[in-house]
Amino acid sequence: MMQYVMMQYVIMLLLPLLPLLPRPLLLPAATPPPPLLLPLPLLLPLPLLLPPLLLPLLPLPLLLSPTPLPLLPLPLLLSPTPLPLRPLPLLLPPPPLSLLPPLPLPLPQPLLPPQLHSLGPSMSDGKAEHHPPGEPAAEPDGAAASRARLRLAVVCSSNQNRSMEAHSILRKRGFSVRSFGTGTYVRLPGPTPDKPNVYDFQTTYEQMYKDLVQKDKDLYTQNGILHMLERNKRIKPKPERFQNCHDVFDLILTCEERVYDQVVEDLNSREQVTCQPVHVINLDIQDDDDEAILGAILLCELCQCILLVDDMEDELDELLQDFEEKCGRPFLHTVCFY
């Protein structure tokens, strides 16, 4: 088999030399050419003419040839005869993957910590502005100054739940806010509706907390009173009564119509000195945890909308009307003077 294959390649290599032979030596075209038998010296340069892939298939004597390959002119290398296809067994298999050099792997990109994903370029100079994790990015000075200039007061009955929830949210948003109650005493729910816990306005939140823990810690933990007092202690030391405060405010927010009437009555009973206007706005909020949170959010959104008004004296009524349509709750509004 090996000799037959070698003879085929020898014939293919010698076919371009046939036109150089004398005419009588050429066989008629009608008959196929007989197999060409070449002496051994002509086969010695064969390893230099065969493709490199066939060299391992040649016998060892044929590989040892001292005869150099003659330089042939270019026309002799061009053969018009198409070469036959190589048999499949002559194709060498690819080298095993274990012998190939390993490809370089891309270097992993470092992961950013979650705190840095919120960092973004500044609109002013294109440089990144960093702020502490968990805190909002710094606002423009104009927005923060507007919140600080708007003097707010939030008023409910006992300065415990509704007014303190709004106080907490508004303070976190950067508003200058205080909270009050209008009742004669501070009342907290007791074991039954007809037995409330009553304190005066001089009693601190810490004293109320300790008193309720001694009375029934499980009960007041379950109904959320102790949790509410813990929040209040973080905001200010004790409740305040609105009638005892004579500070000046730009906007007073009340959480109940009865409280609204008491605030307006107290303001109108005072002697007018500066005639500075103060807007009193009421939003009815039920005295429970869920409604206190929802009402505080609505009051905060209302204050943010008021900051966008050019003239609060002329545009506040229209703003409240639009706000009523959006939230589905009525508002009361009046203007008093100091």
pLDDT for the residue numbered 32? 55
Mean pLDDT in the chain? 76
Confidence of residue 23 (pLDDT cuts 50, 70, 90): low
The mean per-residue pLDDT over the stretch 78-92 comes to 49
* Least confident piece of the model among 83-87, 221-225, 235-239, 272-276: 83-87
Q: Is 20 exposed, middle or buried (0-12, 13-18, 19+ CB in 10 A)?
A: exposed
Which residue from 33, 5, 41 is spatially nearest to 17, judged by alpha carbons? 33
pLDDT for the residue numbered 12? 72
- Please state, in angstroms and rounded to a whole number, the distance separating the CA atoms of residues 164 and 154: 8
What percent of the chain is modeled with pLDDT above 90? 54
Confidence of residue 212 (pLDDT cuts 50, 70, 90): very high
pLDDT for the residue numbered 7? 72
The secondary structure of residue 308, as a DSSP letter, is T
The mean per-residue pLDDT over the stretch 276-303 comes to 96
**Residue 335 backbone phi and psi in degrees, to 5:** -120, 130
Q: Which residue has the higher pLDDT, 264 or 108?
A: 264
The mean per-residue pLDDT over the stretch 236-242 comes to 98
- Is the confidence at residue 135, as pLDDT, over 80? no
pLDDT for the residue numbered 145? 78
- Is the confidence at residue 108, as pLDDT, over 90? no
pLDDT one-digit tens code per residue, 150-202:
999 999 999 999 999 999 999 999 999 999 999 999 999 999 999 999 999 99
Confidence of residue 68 (pLDDT cuts 50, 70, 90): very low
pLDDT for the residue numbered 19? 64
- Please state, in angstroms and rounded to a whole number, the distance separating the CA atoms of residues 323 and 317: 10
The mean per-residue pLDDT over the stretch 39-48 comes to 46
pLDDT for the residue numbered 172? 95
pLDDT for the residue numbered 13? 73
- Is the confidence at residue 231, as pLDDT, over 60? yes
Q: Which of 122-126, 241-245, 307-311 has the highest mean pLDDT?
A: 241-245
Q: Which residue has the higher pLDDT, 232 or 84?
A: 232
3-class SS string, 202-259: CCCHHHHHHHHHHHHHHHHHHCCHHHHHHHHHHHCCCCCEHHHCCCCCCEEEECCHHH
pLDDT for the residue numbered 244? 96
- Asked if 237 and 206 count as a contact pair (C-beta separation under 8 A), the reply is yes
Terminal alpha carbon distance of the chain:
120
- Please state, in angstroms and rounded to a whole number, the distance separating the CA atoms of residues 322 and 196: 39
* Least confident piece of the model among 123-132, 140-149, 294-303: 123-132
